[in-house]
Amino acid sequence: MSKSEKQLSSQGLHGLVISYFGSSVAVEVDDGQVFQCRLRRNQALPVVGDTVMMQLEANETGTVISILPRHSLLARGDHHGKTKAIAANVDSLLIVMSPPPILSEYLVDRYLVAAKLLNIQPVIVLNKADLLDDALKKETLRRLEAYQRIPYPVILSSIYMQEGLTALASEIKTKTAVLVGPSGVGKSSIISALGGYDAIPVGEVSPKGSGKHTTTATRLYHLPDGGRLIDSPGVREFNLWPITSQEVLRGFSEFQPYLGHCKFRDCQHGAEPECALQAALADGKISAERYKSYQLLMKEAASHKKY
């Protein structure tokens, strides 16, 4: 190790967590080098997207000393009703669907509620648009129009027809984005198309570190036109953590103008008489599919018994 490297080692380095291996993380420093860093016992665990302070060791590996403050944290619920952090400092949630029958308003709405509660900008992406014939495209656009009216960004994309990729790249050019959505919608293909088919995953550890890791659970990709993409099996189909009925309501932005105008102050906007939300639904001012998702999520909230 050179004199300058020893000095850096003693002072500590800022780095970006770009891969997570369980017992260690890959940290990228300002000059692009990536080092495998071990984690101290009993310390808060970093996740991909975290900015950390690391100490460089004599064998050219590192140790994470601390996690710098986060501006956002994406988490998912587990089967025990607890939350698990997945990615940090996320700016945008790319909700990826593909044509019917995979397109599901209920799944989209779950992700939108999570994005609202976490203060992360959502973008709805309908991938594999080349599979839409004229009739199916017309029906799909009608369904997506409900989201555009709220408004949420909606992008139709196709890897094979190169459709929507420029708009998608532009949407996340200065952001850190996470891909979510069910299996089979083409999330990995989107990463390849935006990052270049011969791009090397940045989860590989520098030869100056201690070997290479080419298979990781979670990876961060730098995009050539700017921006970052995080892909993780744990976040692709994440479950909402236990949320309250009030949090469900907060997740439906277009419902807000009607709240507080019902006959009963404790109206749950179900079968109660003179409900302003029900009246808006009857007048076509809110989407029937969105309202159906709201009812299902309210049942989930009730099942968690968190009021």
Centroid of chain to Cα 194: 17
Q: Give the mean pLDDT of the chain.
A: 85
Reply yes or no on whether the pLDDT at 42 is more than 90: no
Q: In which residue are the tokens 């050539």 written?
A: 224
Reply yes or no on whether the pLDDT at 22 is more than 80: no
CATH classification of the domain holding 98: 3.40.50.300
Beta strands at 13-20 and 24-28: parallel, antiparallel or unpaired: antiparallel
Task: State the Cα angle at 110 between 129 and 188, rounded to 5°.
Answer: 40
108 in the same domain as 82: yes
Q: Would you say 179 and 233 are in contact if contact means Cβ atoms under 8 Å apart?
A: no
Q: Would you say 174 and 227 are in contact if contact means Cβ atoms under 8 Å apart?
A: yes
Whole-angstrom distance, CA of residue 20 vs CA of residue 48? 6
Whole-angstrom distance, CA of residue 270 vs CA of residue 7? 65
162 in the same domain as 33: no
56 in the same domain as 165: no
CB atoms within 10 A of CB 17: 25
Q: Would you say 13 and 57 are in contact if contact means Cβ atoms under 8 Å apart?
A: no
Angle between helices 134-148 and 105-118 (to 10 degrees): 30
Structure confidence by residue, pLDDT tens digits, 171-213: 999 999 999 988 889 988 899 899 874 443 433 444 444 334 3
Encoded tokens for 43: 């310390």
Which of 52, 67, 82 is where one domain is finished? 67
149 in the same domain as 92: yes
177 in the same domain as 121: yes
For residue 294, how many C-alpha atoms fall within 13 Å in the half-sphere facing its CB? 22
44 in the same domain as 89: no
Domain count, the chain: 3
Q: Which domain holds residue 7?
A: 3-67
Tell me whether residue 220 is exposed, middle or buried, using C-beta atoms within 10 angstroms of its C-beta: 0 to 12, 13 to 18, 19 or more. buried
pLDDT at 222: 92
CATH classification of the domain holding 291: 1.10.40.50
* Cα end-to-end distance, the chain, whole Å: 58
Position with higher pLDDT, 1 vs 53: 53
Which of 194, 219, 236 is where one domain is finished? 236
In the structure, what pLDDT confidence band is assigned to residue 215 with cuts at 50, 70 and 90? very low
Beta strands at 176-180 and 154-156: parallel, antiparallel or unpaired: unpaired
Structure confidence by residue, pLDDT tens digits, 111-120: 999 999 999 9
- Residue 168: what are its φ and ψ, rounded to 5°? -65, -45
Structure confidence by residue, pLDDT tens digits, 228-276: 999 876 565 566 788 899 999 999 999 999 999 999 988 989 888 999 9
Which of 219, 236, 253 is where one domain is finished? 236
